[in-house]
Amino acid sequence: MPTEPEPSAWVIPPPSPDADDLVAVGADLEPGTVLQAYRRGLFPMPAGGVHDRGAPASWWSPRDRGVLPLDGLRVSRSLRQSVRRLHTTTNHAFEHVITRCAELSRHGAWISQDIVDAYIRLHRLGWSHSVETWDDDGGLVGGLYGIAVGGAFAGESMYHEPGAAGRDASKVALVELIRLLRADSDPRRLLDVQWQTAHLASLGVIEIPRAEYLWRLGQALAAPLPPAFA
């Protein structure tokens, strides 16, 4: 079971109905602060870019929240083949996965070193998790990471290595994550991906209004952790 950290010295307000996506700025990225935010439907993301180390934390709650229904993942024929070709593990290489997700060479990179450090601390306390994808030679070719709080999993980022070896590797990790979340068939579970993008929409991600998301989050938080993360 994860270890509950010291309570935060800060109070991050829940989003009001008419709030913009950016809800608050300030506080810190200590484990207690980050968990408080997730439990209120917010997450940290640097507003000033990945180079803005040491800047005040920015807390977001999209008006239109991207979620992936656990029965809604679109699995193409090529992805089914990749699932058979590649292998997955859970929490075997968290620091490697988050570091690769954060690399500045990636298109749309947003994960600052402050974020990396914060989620590594949360991983050591048992809150943040990774799913890794490996090839037959034992090479790590992709993965994803996120935070599990009760029955809610907030997917933060995923990556795959370039070339044929990494083809579909991040999607294979997503297939495995959904299998883990569905293991005990608890209908309250929620897979949050923050924003819908064209790529995520192609995988089955939908948008729901903030109010609906917060209601579903409350239901999910009342559920136990998935067995894989307990």
Is this prediction's pTM over 0.85?
yes
pLDDT in tens, 70-126: 999 999 999 999 999 999 999 999 999 999 999 855 555 678 889 999 999 999 999
pLDDT in tens, 62-81: 999 999 999 999 999 999 99
**Distance between CA atoms of residues 129 and 124, nearest Å:** 10
Q: How many residues does the chain have?
A: 230
Residue environment code for 122-159, b if the CB has 16+ CB neighbours within 10 A, otherwise e: bbeebbbbbbbbbbeeeebbbbbbbbbbbbbbbbbbbb
Give all domains of the chain, ordered by start, each with its CATH number.
22-62 (3.30.70.3550), 66-229 (3.40.630.70)
**Distance between CA atoms of residues 31 and 38, nearest Å:** 11
Confidence at residue 151, expressed as pLDDT on a 0 to 100 scale: 98
Confidence at residue 51, expressed as pLDDT on a 0 to 100 scale: 47
Give me the chain's average pLDDT, please. 93
pLDDT in tens, 8-49: 999 988 898 889 999 999 999 999 999 999 999 999 998 755
**Distance between CA atoms of residues 133 and 79, nearest Å:** 13
CA angle at 155 for the pair 27 and 88, rounded to the nearest 5°:
135
Half-sphere exposure of 153 (CA within 13 A, CB side): 28
179's CB contacts (< 8 A; 6+ apart) are: none
SS3 212: helix
Place of tokens 């800060």: 10
